[in-house]
Chains A and B, each alone.
Chain A
Amino acid sequence: EAGVTQFPSHSVIEKGQTVTLRCDPISGHDNLYWYRRVMGKEIKFLLHFVKESKQDESGMPNNRFLAERTGGTYSTLKVQPAELEDSGVYFCASSQETLQFFGPGTRLTVL
């Protein structure tokens, strides 16, 4: 069974540009989560989807971040425009119940 996949694995962009991260959850998992780890700090929750609905988006830092999950399958996280402090590793996870399975992350560098 395929795990959670994320694309791209690395992204380097300039301040002000737009970047879109993609997450493909494990097939059949209704719950999908986004987390972020900024340089050396803790992994922070961003938001939680149940199917295509945002269940909890309390961790989204500001309105430059937009997450979607059309059709309840894969999800995208768009950062527009990107700022230097957005650099970090973005993790996606999915679950059917309480056990979350994590993807390898996307390392975003904003120059």
Chain B
Amino acid sequence: AQSVTQLGSHVSVSEGALVLLRCNYSSSVPPYLFWYVQYPNQGLQLLLKYTTGATLVKGINGFEAEFKKSETSFHLTKPSAHMSDAAEYFCAVSDSGGFKTIFGAGTRLFVKA
């Protein structure tokens, strides 16, 4: 069965600092991997996704993630945090059909001025 573990329910960084949100997954088949963001009172918005090909995936708003099969990880990074990045972030995995999606518990990112 597929599962996702996000390390840290809360992460706090200073504005301009590196953002690193950790995600590990388990999957018996080559996975599709996703990062979603949820801003207050809004739906989930896709940041980026990995399906096949290049393991470093670039997404919106300056975020990127690297698929590391050997470590079963898909950590999300951004070189310089902005106040507007404060939100909750979800890592997710689905099977190759991309239908049923399994989510991690979420990481809430706080950005300090």
Residues 3 to 17 of chain B near chain A (Cβ within 8 Å): 4, 9
Number of interface residues of B (CB under 8 A): 25
A1 to B20, CA, bound (A): 33
What 0/1 pattern do residues 74 to 112 of B give for CB contact below 8 A with A?
000000000000000010101001111111111000000
In the bound complex, do residue B46 and residue A43 qualify as a contact, i.e. CB atoms below 8 Å apart? no
Cα distance A41–B100 when bound, in Å?
Answer: 18
B99-A31 in contact (CB<8A): yes
The reply on A72 being an interface residue by CB < 8 A is no
Contact A104 B99 (CB under 8 A): no
CB pair B99–A56 under 8 Å, yes or no, is: yes
The contact sample of 9 A-B pairs, CB cut-off 8 A, is: A3-B43, A33-B99, A42-B4, A43-B92, A45-B102, A55-B99, A58-B100, A91-B43, A98-B98
A-B interface, 6 closest residue pairs, ranked by CB to CB distance from nearest: A98-B98, A102-B44, A43-B103, A102-B43, A104-B43, A42-B105
Please list the residues of chain A having a beta carbon within 8 angstroms of any beta carbon in chain B: 3-4, 31, 33, 35, 40-45, 48, 55-56, 58-59, 91, 93, 95, 97-105
**20 more CB-based (< 8 A) A-B contacts, given A42-B4, A102-B43:** A4-B43, A33-B99, A35-B101, A40-B105, A41-B105, A42-B104, A42-B106, A45-B101, A58-B100, A91-B43, A91-B44, A98-B98, A98-B99, A100-B46, A100-B101, A101-B46, A102-B36, A102-B44, A104-B41, A104-B43
